[in-house]
Amino acid sequence: MRRRIIVGALLVAGAAAVVAGMVVIADYLSDPPSASCAVPPTTFGTTAPFFDHQEVAVHYNCEGASQAGTLYLPSGPGPYAAVVWIHGAGREARLGFGGIVKDLVESGVAVFSYDKRGVGESEGSCCPGDNGHFNLLSADVVGAVSALFSRSDVRKDEIGLVGASQAGWIAPKAAVASSHVAFVALASATPVSERQTNLYERLARGDEGQLTKQEISRRLAAAGPSGFDPVPYLKQMKVPSLWLFGTEDDRIPVEESLRILDQLRSEKTDVSTYTFAGAGHGLLDTPPSDPRAPAILLDWIAKRVHLAR
């Protein structure tokens, strides 16, 4: 009987190892580290004029999947500074002309927002980032930047990345992979590792009872970084970055985020941070969790680019 139990245990362990190996292989194939989109085949539709802006349909091919979005241009003559919007988690379609897109365009900055891979008109499988995989998502951002770089009405040295939440893990990797990114501006995003942040979210929402911020911080420190870690990419970034935080954000660990960014700043990295007392997640949502956040982001970008008027 004991021998049978041992043999059975070994068979189960072996099967688990095979399954685990298959999972690793599947993850590797579905989100390959080699994912790249440096010079994607791109098509632009006809520019459609509106009362207060212009719109251009964009399609570009990245890692065998066509990505579709809309480029929003200011009404005035170019060339324009431009940004690529990076979505947070979930099945997110391109942003419409409102909220932060409208604010940016009316300030003189073009905005390109596309349907996330596997959503809307974009091909591929959604959403690898929700499972901690960011190679394809970062490649898609690099492809979007390259598409903008190919346009004569976009300032080639003034293309930035703007995004929220999960964008904190995607933007640094994309900024290192693309030589065309001039700045990064993020809201409600974190440089803390992916699984450590997931732990924070579980603890902050009370999955293990009501814990104080001090208790949650101790748990995060004990767990340590795991999963995707953007810090190595942040250390390689050579462009300025902005990070906006709400002190009551229950999705990302704000104190731990600021600690990492302060350390990067001490190493001569160009990092700017702003915190909004009492604000939660969604600083760039419509409406924002703090109405001052979009204006601060716009002002920070305006100091680094030429604005079309």
- CB under 8 Å to 204, separation ≥6 — which residues? 216, 250, 251
The pTM of the full predicted model, rounded to 2 decimals, is 0.89
Q: HSE, CB side, 13 Å, CA atoms: give it for residue 141.
A: 32
**Tell me, what's the pLDDT at 41?**
96
**Tell me, what's the pLDDT at 308?**
79
**Tell me, what's the pLDDT at 10?**
33
Sequence ranges of the domains in the chain: 1-30, 37-302
**Tell me, what's the pLDDT at 19?**
39
**Tell me, what's the pLDDT at 279?**
97
Amino acid at 42: T
**DSSP assignment letter at 252:** S
pLDDT along the chain (309 residues), means of 10: 35 37 49 92 97 97 96 94 97 97 97 97 94 96 98 97 97 97 98 97 90 93 95 96 97 97 92 97 96 97 89
Whether the bond into 232 is cis, omega within 30 of 0 = no
Q: HSE, CB side, 13 Å, CA atoms: give it for residue 114.
A: 29
Give the C-alpha separation, 203 to 267, whole Å.
31
Q: Could you tell me which CATH class the domain 37-302 is placed in? A: alpha beta
What is Dmax (Cα atoms) for the chain?
A: 83
Q: HSE, CB side, 13 Å, CA atoms: give it for residue 56.
A: 22
101, two tokens: 């897109």
151, two tokens: 């346009």
Alpha helices in 224-280 (DSSP H): 231-236, 254-266
Angle value at C-alpha 138, between 84 and 64, nearest 5 degrees: 100
**Tell me, what's the pLDDT at 269?**
82
- CB under 8 Å to 6, separation ≥6 — which residues? none
Residues present in the chain in total: 309
**DSSP assignment letter at 128:** G
Alpha-carbon separation of residue 278 from 124, 245, 249, 273 (angstroms): 38, 10, 8, 16
**Tell me, what's the pLDDT at 14?**
38
**Tell me, what's the pLDDT at 268?**
83
**Tell me, what's the pLDDT at 256?**
97
**Tell me, what's the pLDDT at 11?**
34
Closest CA to 247 of 193, 306, 297, 188: 188
